[in-house]
Amino acid sequence: MSLQWTLIAGFLYIEIAIVLLLVLPVASPKRWNSFFKSRFLQGLQRQAGMYFLILLAILVLFLLDAIREMRKYSNPDQDDHGHAHLDREMQGSMRLFRAQRNFYISGFALFLSLVIRRLVTLISAQAALLAQSEASLRQAQSATTAAKSLLAQKSEVAQNDSNELHDKQVTDLKKKIKDLEEEVATETRDKEAMKKQSDNLAKEYDRLAEEHSKLQKKITISSGGGESKKDD
């Protein structure tokens, strides 16, 4: 294998290792994103687009060269009798095999370059989405906590208002009961006073009736004594 194809084969092996690292759960998308945004890669990122295009151009050139070699050695020259010489046929088969090997090496190297670029883009986008989802989740949790706090404050205020209203109602009822008790006590005193007054009037009536009876008897006796004197 020539030097250039050895380098391309080594580059292909490195690409395979990179794809395995990116695909397997070796690190989280956040760590990969932080690695992609490191100072070293940030310094290369400014010219990464140009380097990537140059790499693709080189791989495309080697791929075209491998396709040319494959087409060249796919139809070996024949002699006048229609049979190729054995040595030339073996050399042609070996060169065809090398061309096919170079074709697969350059083709897979080109393909994995595109795959790696796409994987890096997807991992960076996934890391950004994860960060955004975590921020949204924290915001939702803070909003939920604030809503619960507001509901608790409203419930406490409503409970305090309810307690104040209940206390006011109890105070009003106590006041009404006290007023009714005072009215009942006043009516009771008035009733007792009227009862005493009625008893006093009854006693006075009995006394006057007794005096009237005594006076009536005296008058009767006096009237009887006067009539007997006149008869004498």
DSSP for 12-50 reads HHHHHHHHHHHHTTTS-HHHHHHHHTSHHHHHHHTTHHH
- Domain range summary for the chain, segments of one domain joined by +: 3-77+86-159
Residue 102, classed as helix, strand or coil, is helix
**Cα–Cα distance, 196 to 201 (Å, whole number):** 9
pLDDT given for residue 161 in this prediction? 67
Q: What is the mean pLDDT of residues 126-147?
A: 84
pLDDT above 70: residue 46: no
**Cα–Cα distance, 195 to 17 (Å, whole number):** 119
pLDDT given for residue 192 in this prediction? 80
Task: Give the count of alpha carbons within 13 A of 151, CB side only.
Answer: 6
Which of 50-64, 77-91, 98-112 has the lowest average pLDDT?
A: 77-91
**Cα–Cα distance, 111 to 59 (Å, whole number):** 10
**Cα–Cα distance, 45 to 32 (Å, whole number):** 15
Q: What is the mean pLDDT of residues 13-34?
A: 80
pLDDT given for residue 49 in this prediction? 67
Task: Give the count of alpha carbons within 13 A of 102, CB side only.
Answer: 26
